[in-house]
Amino acid sequence: MKQQIHPPHTPIRNFGVQLSPTPRGARLARLLVTEQLRSWGLPSDPAAHVVAELAANAVTHGRVPGRDFRLLVYVVGDTLRIEVTDTRGDRRPQPRRLPSADAETGRGLVLVEALADRWGVLEGPSPRKTVWAELDLRPKPENSRFGATGCLPQGPQG
């Protein structure tokens, strides 16, 4: 008797949309991803914040009149990958140090770097570039994202 072995069925979860390079398009990117993650049974934070920052950057720094930006979100294994593609490949994102307290801009990539487990930039066919971020979906020890080591004293000191 010959047995057939069937690999476990893992659905491919992905979502992509092309949006106008306007503040409204950036807001819509965040709302759509929040809803998509909910439908997949995944938490929206911090992914929604990463999408908001990457979409805002595409609108602010990657805008070319008449050309949209593309948002792609997908899950591979235990990783959520977010990609935002715009048509300003000549303007690569440059992470900065934390801006001054009274600065109104300049925190986007600082936030992405703090929230994402990995991020980077891919050059696409000219004139495109894709800024991507990955979030591990496995639970992490509490406060690990913020550098806490659990070595603070607990209880009364004597």
pTM: 0.79
> What pLDDT is recorded for position 131?
96
Q: Using CA atoms, how far apart are residues 68 and 25, in angstroms rounded to an integer?
A: 9
Length, in residues, of the chain:
158
Q: What is the pLDDT of residues 93-146, one digit of tens each?
A: 776 677 667 766 667 888 999 999 999 999 988 889 999 999 999 877 665 554
Distance of CA 66 to the CA centre of its chain: 25
**pLDDT more than 90, % of the chain:** 58
Q: Using CA atoms, how far apart are residues 29 and 48, in angstroms rounded to an integer?
A: 9
Distance of CA 1 to the CA centre of its chain: 49
62, pLDDT greater than 90: no
Q: 49, 50, 157, 53: which is closest to 105 by C-alpha?
A: 53
> What pLDDT is recorded for position 142?
62
Tokens of 148: 């806490």
**Given pLDDT bands bounded at 50, 70 and 90, which one contains residue 89?**
confident
Structural domain spans, the chain: 13-98+105-138
Q: 104, 120, 94, 117: which is closest to 46 by C-alpha?
A: 117
Domain spanning 13-98+105-138: which CATH class is it, in words?
alpha beta
Backbone φ and ψ of 80, nearest 5° = -100, 125
Greater pLDDT, 81 or 145 = 81
> What pLDDT is recorded for position 95?
67
